[in-house]
Amino acid sequence: MTEPAAPAPAPSVADLPETALLAAAQVSKAWPFEEARKIARRYPAGKRDAAGELVPVLFETGYGPSGLPHIGTFTEVLRTTLVRRAYEALTGGHPTRLVAFSDDMDGLRKVPDNVPQKDLLAANLGKPLSRVPDPFGTHASFAHHNNARLRDFLDQFGFDYEFVSAADRYNSGAFDAALGNVLRHYDAIMAIMLPTLREERRQTYSPILPVSPATGVVLQVPVTVLDPAAGTVRFQDSDGTTVEQSVFGGQAKLQWKVDWAMRWVALGVDYEMYGKDLTDSGTQSGRIAQVLGGRKPEGLIYELFLDEKGEKISKSKGNGLTIEQWLEYGSEDSLGFYLYREPKSAKSLHVGIIPRAVDEYWQFRERLPGQPLEQQLGNPVWHLLRTNGEQAGAGDSLPVTYGLLLNLVGVLGAGASRDQVWSYLGNYVANADPAAHPALDALVTRALAYNRDLIAPTLQRRAPAGGEVAALAALDAALAGMTADAGAEAFQTVVYEVGKDPEYGFEGLRDWFRALYETLLGSSQGPRMGSFIALYGLANTRALIAEALAGA
């Protein structure tokens, strides 16, 4: 029977007139476009300088280099980049910049658990991170080391960004004018902050944190402003000495909420997103930005990650999922896809979500070329491809789902090899050569790791019981009359027919499939059985059934 011709794919965005893309972007409900329209409303004619020339809209992400970069860092840079690219599409290519800002003037508050030479760090507690020796012995300071790791981390994923160090800005005097502005508005800032603090904290709070000339520690002490123009303040050092010194040139930094507001104004930040836990902080910093003569950036307040128990992820608890773990078991694309979706909803983040994220990414990627423009703009893959400047054109497909691949590897056992998996893929995939299917080959490696670490230790096949025994025997008899090349649909039809037969007592097909998974695969969930039989092979599947029946 001749299959009907596939419908011609819709033209890719690259082939459409720019006016069509601009019109569709104006009404797209995809959240990056909704965020981008906030910026467009802020600058109806585009962001312009005093001479009326277009200047880049500035997007910012913040990072605290007291530890190594993690999946939250990736999340924030990725999501901000998605909004950045949506804004460019929305405006027909207005210029943009993305700044990755490192808060490396912060004082070292505690010694991390995952570093060498903890005594070295303990001896420098309280000093700016950029002035704490590097316990790894490779960089000028602990902050320099972690900043280098951050940049390597972002470069690994091809992000387009500019790195900005708080320490460089403070030490070079680039923030001196902004610090003077804070001193001039000292009382107004205090009026915003003091009502938000506990009484005890109010007694010592100051927007300015001077650096002790004696110890080099960032001090949390009351400050008296003497001369805003010169930047001079008076405070009591930790040894009781009264000190008068300038806050300019790296001799002080700002409390972080004030620092956040100062940075927005000094750098001209137009967009920055942050987590729900910083909602109140963002409100206070926005009010301070107004006092300083600027305004709060546009931004998205996103929900936080939860572990598999539904508890908030905490770095100190170690109950989260690292980006290294995700990339061990799933693809970078699948991570981006998972982080794209529903940023305003709390998301579970554990290894169990990875296989589904991989398969859903490929489902959306395969749909993309055939979708009309408005659907393409709502497709997460369209946005993800553009993060690194790729056009959303013709996509490719994954000939075997990751879930099915995991089922195959699970049956083969923890000792399965890449070559062994590919020998089975030859039953299912045309031109089953790793070189011809690099994305699938990468997933084979990840499936082997996922099975070895997470599936194999938990698999336990049970013996069939009751009507399951007769049903399996009937399935085997039906398969015996088929050829190995019958195809997944034909195999699936046979599986359905057996399961629907009232003789075997299944209340529904769900019970039949569960019985197949538990007796043949050792899991309560599994693949579409027709596809599994085609992949694993007819003879091998019958051998599995025979093994199960032998244990009944």
Kindly tell me if the per-residue pLDDT of 3 is higher than 50: no
- Residue 297 is predicted with a pLDDT of 98
Q: Nearest-CA neighbor of 29 among 278, 299, 331, 379?
A: 379
Rounded (10°) angle between helices 509-516 and 467-480: 80
Kindly tell me if the per-residue pLDDT of 228 is higher than 70: yes
Return d(Cα 410, Cα 455) in angstroms, integer: 7
Return d(Cα 334, Cα 328) in angstroms, integer: 12
3-state secondary structure of 377: helix
Return d(Cα 188, Cα 292) in angstroms, integer: 9
The pLDDT mean for the chain works out to 92
Rounded (10°) angle between helices 354-367 and 332-340: 90
Residues 236 and 203: beta-carbon distance below 8 Å: no
- Residue 4 is predicted with a pLDDT of 37
3-state secondary structure of 96: strand
- Per residue in 369-382, pLDDT (tens digit) is 889 999 999 999 99
- Per residue in 462-510, pLDDT (tens digit) is 999 999 999 999 999 999 999 999 999 999 999 999 999 999 999 999 9
Structure tokens at 41: 């409303």
Kindly tell me if the per-residue pLDDT of 81 is higher than 80: yes
- Residue 202 is predicted with a pLDDT of 92
Residues spanned by CATH 1.10.10 within the chain?
467-550
- Residue 313 is predicted with a pLDDT of 65
Q: What is the pTM of this model?
A: 0.89
Strand partners, 65: none
User: Alpha-carbon Rg of the chain, whole angstroms?
Assistant: 29
Kindly tell me if the per-residue pLDDT of 11 is higher than 70: no
Residues 6+ apart with CB under 8 A from 507: none
Distance of CA 295 to the CA centre of its chain: 28
Q: Nearest-CA neighbor of 166 among 133, 192, 143, 146?
A: 143
Residues 160 and 147: beta-carbon distance below 8 Å: no
Rounded mean pLDDT, 533-551: 95
Strand partners, 253: 209
Q: What is the architecture, at CATH level 2, of domain 467-550?
A: Orthogonal Bundle (1.10)
- Per residue in 389-433, pLDDT (tens digit) is 776 555 578 999 999 999 999 999 888 999 999 999 999 998 899
- Per residue in 88-142, pLDDT (tens digit) is 999 999 999 999 999 999 999 999 888 899 999 999 999 999 999 999 999 999 9
SS3 annotation, 119-185: HHHHCCCCCEHHHCCCCCCCCCCHHHHHHHHHHHHHHHCCCCCEEEEHHHHHHHCCCHHHHHHHHHC
Rounded mean pLDDT, 41-66: 95
- Residue 2 is predicted with a pLDDT of 35
CATH number for 1-174+303-397: choose from 3.40.50, 1.10.260, 1.10.3470, 3.30.70: 3.40.50
- Residue 19 is predicted with a pLDDT of 87
Q: Where are the beta strands (DSSP E) in 212-256?
A: 224-227, 232-236, 242-246, 252-254
Return d(Cα 279, Cα 134) in angstroms, integer: 33
Calculate what percentage of the chain has a pLDDT beyond 70. Answer: 94
- Residue 8 is predicted with a pLDDT of 47
CA dihedral 522, 528, 531, 533 (to 10 degrees): 40
Kindly tell me if the per-residue pLDDT of 320 is higher than 70: no
Residue 138 CB-density burial (10 A; 0-12 exposed, 13-18 middle, 19+ buried): exposed
- Per residue in 296-317, pLDDT (tens digit) is 999 999 998 887 777 776 654 5
Return d(Cα 177, Cα 230) in angstroms, integer: 10
3-state secondary structure of 242: strand
Rounded mean pLDDT, 453-465: 92
CA dihedral 243, 248, 250, 255 (to 10 degrees): 80
Structure tokens at 63: 């990072």
- Residue 392 is predicted with a pLDDT of 53
Calculate what percentage of the chain has a pLDDT beyond 90. Answer: 80
- Residue 176 is predicted with a pLDDT of 98
Kindly tell me if the per-residue pLDDT of 5 is higher than 80: no
